[in-house]
Structure 1
Amino acid sequence: MNKFHSSEIIQGSQLESVRLTAIKKLAQQAFKPRTDNYNLQGDALESWSKNADSMGRFLSQERAEIKKFQLAKIRSLVDNAYKNVPFYRELYGACGYEEGGISSFSDFEQLPIVNKGLLSSFDARMIVNDPEALELANTSRTSGSSGKPFTIYSDDDDIVLDHLQVMRFYNSCLQRPLQKHDWIYMLHHSGLAFSSLHGMYRTFQLPDLLPSTPLGEHLMLLRPKLLVTLPSYLPLILKHKAEVKMSGVEAILTNSESSTQLERSYYSQALGLPVFDEYSSEEVGLIATQCAHGQYHAIEDGVYLEVVNADVRGYGNVVCTDLNNELMPLIRFDHGDVARQKLEPERCACGSDCTTLYEINGRRDDAFRTREYHLVPSASILAAVDDILVTPDRTLEAFRLTQKSAETIELMTRYVGAPHKKMEEILLQLKERLSCLFGYSIELLHREVDALPEQKSYKRRSIVREWELN
């Protein structure tokens, strides 16, 4: 077996400095997905070797060809869901749908829109096309930014396709094919499905970036070509500007948190490197990726994207249909995010003729701040909650974290059964994780509620900052 994990990269006598030992300890906290196994890596490598070129050409096809492909996928997806998934059988049957009823996108857009709240109210066997496959299915359980836990089921084919689409995005950011020996360096709580493909296209992951992390020293050692990060970490990365440049990093990619083009342009100029953003979700995977001209283009061999109920400025709700996940179909799925779509059909200067978004305003959590008023990344806080509360516990129905002061955070929860551990253990583990992110010890209060208080927001937020620096 020829696999690489983050912890294996920090070894050898020349790396046993105190500073790089800190990197090793942090890297060992990264979650290793069950998909990261030799056989599935091999499937992904074989598929990439065969299909990388055609995948690269797909997104620059004529728009008519892209839409022809999508409509065929949608017809098959809807009919299969209607026949094999009890939830969709009931939902579409109530609308008068009959098998073969999709002959145009207009037909498709008459189907009901679904969301996480609706799907999570049904037993898992009701929302998949093969209940017998659930035991072996790949799962991810996330709260997103809504505070409502939700489990996604997928098969191996979906995992491989999603990974290959990510690799294609890496190629576009580099403006060249990713080489087998190139490293990807991830400053992110959520890693890729595979740490490498049989030792090629390797990734190194740090789940968090702290002010004391010797990032520049390690970049000089590993010399990655791509740096994938939360936008919140860009100020810390800038402190290692010289090493970032000297190590050979060619591009920086951001995801998981909202950031503005003005912010990314500032750090791009300051670091002397292009910064590209991606729009993705735990439920669907890649939705749209940013090109060198600042436009977000939908990944149209993986998702059918709609912006519905747009206001006078063109902002509407993002509705996605996952074209890859046949085990648990997500058809006309409302993410709760808001975006503005480019309506005039026009090929971008980058060569893409895909659906284009001007701007995405999603994942609007209130970022926490330290007593020095430094930002604590929302995505890292959500990752801590997912790891400690959400993933291991199916009885957690909803939660919210509220920052009351520089040192005090309140956790509100609603359980529909007994928690998976004693609450004292859960709170201690979460307090330690949050204190690490803040850089000092915080006080964690807990309150069990019958229902989370409603908020004046276009979607429920799970992270709220009530404290302001005087």
Structure 2
Amino acid sequence: MAGTIGADGYRRFWDEERETLAPEARRRVILERIRHQLDYAYHRIPFYRELYDRRGFRPEQVRRLEDFTEKVPVVTKAMLRESQEAHPPFGNYLGVDFAEVMRIQGTSGTTGQPTLFAITRDDWEHVSQAQAMQVWAAGMRPHDIVQMSFPLSLFVGGWGLLGAAETIGAKVLPVGGGESDRQLLLMKRVGASVICATPSFTLHLLERARALGEDPAASSLRLGFFGGEPGGGVPAVKRRLEQGWGLKAIDFGNVAEVHPCTNMECEHRTGMHTYLDIDYTEVVRADAPNEAVPMGSKGAVVYTQLWRRAQPMIRYFPGDETLMTDEPCACGRTYPRLPHGIIGRLDDLLVVRGVKIFPSAVEDVLRGVPGTGTEFRIHLERPAELDEISVEVEAGEPGNPALQAEVEAALRAAFGIRVPARLVPEQTFDRTAFKARRVIDRRPALSGAAA
């Protein structure tokens, strides 16, 4: 494909016409696809027909994108689980003949039964093509050796990146998750230039490489794609990854139910572009999902798959907070951005003595204090009438009172309340290639509600 040539000798865009399309022209494309998906879902998928009939909605009521936001009910994870329990294994929203299903994937199942995804061949090919456009924007190129350190299992995370890397002609090293020493050995042996993993696992690899006497900043890595948890969008985490490994850290991610992932940073790393003509992304009021928030305001994200045939998600409400901006990006792409990435899950929000705290915000503070280690835990308790929050954080010098005082001062400055900190030895907490679970809520009446 011909197009504008970048400084690296490759074309700048994977699909220049699409990526630089005027926003109003893109809105017309999106509206056409939305109307197609609504009609398809209503006439082919009992789940949607029943939902829309209960709410008095019909697809022909959508004539503008504003109608879509204001009139179409949202879908939640609980609704999908109920459907799959009542109509196993894929729920009553499959949408295609089972003979067309090529692949079965799922969620990680860390909070219960995995939600299963049935994927057709054309849906799977679309995932690879869609994410190829994104990884190209982020700087992945055919000469790269891409180390896949996501688990590559039932969990759908990581598979789209693997397909994208193959689509652009890069060389894929599918190591999978875990086995830190083997990861480092293979990275060095083949000269991997790109790593794809969770931020927490990559920080663990950084820690392990140093313990083995190696200098990670001198490794062959030049680029990292980090998803599966908010860390890639947390400034202090991004700095640790970039400075520790000597690479550029790319944040990406949405939710497993909406695949392909269509939020990813470009090479300028000023927040994830949201590729609206793949999965249409809205930001709405968390307590009123049929009401959009103004551009630049925080709200809850809602996703719609514009091209998916099997189990299409239409106005899926995962409970994540973000904000969107349409300010121009230096890369020249006209997609809006999520400048702070996914800020956090609304049901992960901790409210302590009236102060709202996301675990990712605690992580940002801790990673920003020199001398703190890779892992930490947040503890919530109610010993009397008031909630108490404290943290445990690994450190190279767990007996250092000055470091402890610095951590506590940083936490107070960030949140305006006292947060006691306890320094513990490195390797105290387990490492995982999956999402790290760092909140321990022991409050009797609210246990599990905020964490």
The 5 Å alignment of 1:46-445 reads 55-109=15-69, 110-122=71-83, 123=87, 124=90, 126-130=92-96, 132-133=97-98, 136-143=101-108, 146-147=111-112, 149-174=114-139, 178-179=141-142, 182-190=144-152, 191-192=158-159, 197=166, 200-210=169-179, 213-239=181-207, 240=209, 248-259=220-231, 260-285=234-259, 286-291=261-266, 292-309=268-285, 314-342=297-325, 345-359=326-340, 360-362=342-344, 364=348, 375=375
Q: Extract unaligned runs of 5+ from structure 2.
A: 1-10, 153-157, 288-292, 350-358, 361-371, 378-391, 393-427, 433-444
The question of whether the paired residues in 2 share the 8 Å contact of 1:219 and 1:244 is answered with no
Query: Aligned AA for 2:77?
Result: K
CA shift digits 1:316-359 (9 cap, x unpaired): 221111123112121000112111222xx432222222232132
CA distance in 2, matches of 1:373, 1:272: 18
Q: Kindly tell me: are residues 168 and 226 of structure 1, through their superposed partners in 2, closer, same or farther at Cα, counting changes over 3 Å?
A: farther
Q: Kindly tell me: are residues 118 and 96 of structure 1, through their superposed partners in 2, closer, same or farther at Cα, counting changes over 3 Å?
A: same
SS in 2 for 1:126: helix
Q: Kindly tell me: are residues 272 and 171 of structure 1, through their superposed partners in 2, closer, same or farther at Cα, counting changes over 3 Å?
A: same
CA distance in 2, matches of 1:202, 1:108: 41
Query: Aligned AA for 2:249?
Result: V
CA shift digits 1:229-284 (9 cap, x unpaired): 21113333435486656554221111101111222023313433211110232211
Q: Kindly tell me: are residues 134 and 226 of structure 1, through their superposed partners in 2, closer, same or farther at Cα, counting changes over 3 Å?
A: same
Q: Kindly tell me: are residues 362 and 151 of structure 1, through their superposed partners in 2, closer, same or farther at Cα, counting changes over 3 Å?
A: farther
CA distance in 2, matches of 1:80, 1:307: 24
SS in 2 for 1:279: coil
CA distance in 2, matches of 1:325, 1:309: 26
CA shift digits 1:124-150 (9 cap, x unpaired): 3521223x3267342222246643531
Q: Kindly tell me: are residues 143 and 336 of structure 1, through their superposed partners in 2, closer, same or farther at Cα, counting changes over 3 Å?
A: farther
Q: Kindly tell me: are residues 316 and 244 of structure 1, through their superposed partners in 2, closer, same or farther at Cα, counting changes over 3 Å?
A: same
Q: Kindly tell me: are residues 216 and 142 of structure 1, through their superposed partners in 2, closer, same or farther at Cα, counting changes over 3 Å?
A: closer
Query: Aligned AA for 2:148?
Result: M
- The answer to which of 312-321 and 162-171 deviates more is 312-321
CA shift digits 1:200-247 (9 cap, x unpaired): 533223333455x15444223212231112111333343548665655
CA distance in 1, matches of 2:429, 2:240: 28
CA distance in 2, matches of 1:293, 1:254: 12
The question of whether the paired residues in 1 share the 8 Å contact of 2:102 and 2:118 is answered with yes
Q: Kindly tell me: are residues 85 and 147 of structure 1, through their superposed partners in 2, closer, same or farther at Cα, counting changes over 3 Å?
A: same
The question of whether the paired residues in 2 share the 8 Å contact of 1:129 and 1:328 is answered with yes
Q: Kindly tell me: are residues 234 and 55 of structure 1, through their superposed partners in 2, closer, same or farther at Cα, counting changes over 3 Å?
A: same
CA distance in 2, matches of 1:170, 1:99: 34
CA RMSD of aligned residues (A): 3.8
Regions of 4+ moved over 6 Å? none
The question of whether the paired residues in 2 share the 8 Å contact of 1:341 and 1:356 is answered with yes
Query: Aligned AA for 1:81?
Result: A
CA distance in 1, matches of 2:41, 2:251: 32
CA shift digits 1:26-55 (9 cap, x unpaired): xxxxxxxxxxxxxxxxxxxxxxxxx99663
Query: Aligned AA for 1:362?
Result: G
The question of whether the paired residues in 2 share the 8 Å contact of 1:220 and 1:244 is answered with no
SS in 1 for 2:203: helix
CA distance in 1, matches of 2:300, 2:168: 41
Query: Aligned AA for 1:222?
Result: V
The question of whether the paired residues in 2 share the 8 Å contact of 1:293 and 1:349 is answered with no
CA distance in 2, matches of 1:220, 1:151: 36
CA shift digits 1:371-425 (9 cap, x unpaired): x986399xxxxxxxxxxxxxxxxxxxxxxxxxxx9xxxxxxxxxxxxxxxxxxxx
Q: Kindly tell me: are residues 153 and 245 of structure 1, through their superposed partners in 2, closer, same or farther at Cα, counting changes over 3 Å?
A: same
Q: Kindly tell me: are residues 274 and 99 of structure 1, through their superposed partners in 2, closer, same or farther at Cα, counting changes over 3 Å?
A: closer
The question of whether the paired residues in 2 share the 8 Å contact of 1:210 and 1:437 is answered with no
Q: Kindly tell me: are residues 68 and 244 of structure 1, through their superposed partners in 2, closer, same or farther at Cα, counting changes over 3 Å?
A: farther
SS in 2 for 1:334: coil
SS in 2 for 1:159: helix
Normalising by structure 2, what TM-score?
Answer: 0.63
Q: Extract unaligned runs of 5+ from structure 1.
A: 1-50, 378-404, 406-434, 440-451, 462-470
CA distance in 2, matches of 1:170, 1:322: 19
CA distance in 1, matches of 2:32, 2:311: 18
CA distance in 2, matches of 1:53, 1:88: 36
Query: Aligned AA for 1:129?
Result: G
Q: How many residues align?
A: 331
The question of whether the paired residues in 2 share the 8 Å contact of 1:219 and 1:243 is answered with no
1:92 shift after superposition:
1.5
Query: Aligned AA for 1:95?
Result: R
